[in-house]
Amino acid sequence: MSSGPPITRTVLLDQALPAPHPTAHVEIRRITIAPGQPAGLHVHNGPVFGAVETGSVVYQVEGEPETVLGPGDVFYEPEGVRIARFDARDEGVTFLGYFLLAAGQAAELEFPGR
């Protein structure tokens, strides 16, 4: 029998939102990006949280340093903020995206410059 506790809980992200957000529902999507495919500069119409399941991705909020996320890593994409990079690496990436939505709101993605 293990000497550790039977259940452990670890906070992976404790993210304050810049302003109160009227969340009426949460949409969770499993998203797969092909190997080497960049998502491109994009902006969400609501806050998005995510967790990488498999593979890895180069993640960068515009004006901040880039980072590489792998399985188990979590991220936050703020509402209305430009996400400069979310680029799958050589093995591709699959992640869960949690979209916080107001009543009647659909998750939308803008691609500035396209």
The verdict on residue 35 lying in a domain is yes
Number of H helices, E strands in the chain: 0, 7
Q: Is residue 36 part of a domain?
A: yes
Query: How is residue 12 annotated by DSSP?
Result: -
- 89 inside domain: yes
- Per the structure, the count of domains in the chain is 1
Digit-by-digit pLDDT tens for the chain (114 residues) are 668 899 999 999 999 999 888 999 999 999 999 999 999 899 999 999 999 999 999 999 999 999 999 999 999 999 999 999 999 999 999 999 999 999 999 999 999 976
Cα-based distances in Å from 110 to 32, 42, 44, 46, 105:
18, 5, 7, 11, 15
> In this structure, what CATH number is given to the domain that contains residue 31?
2.60.120.10
Q: Which domain holds residue 38?
A: 25-101
Is 12 within a domain?
Answer: no
Q: Is residue 46 part of a domain?
A: yes
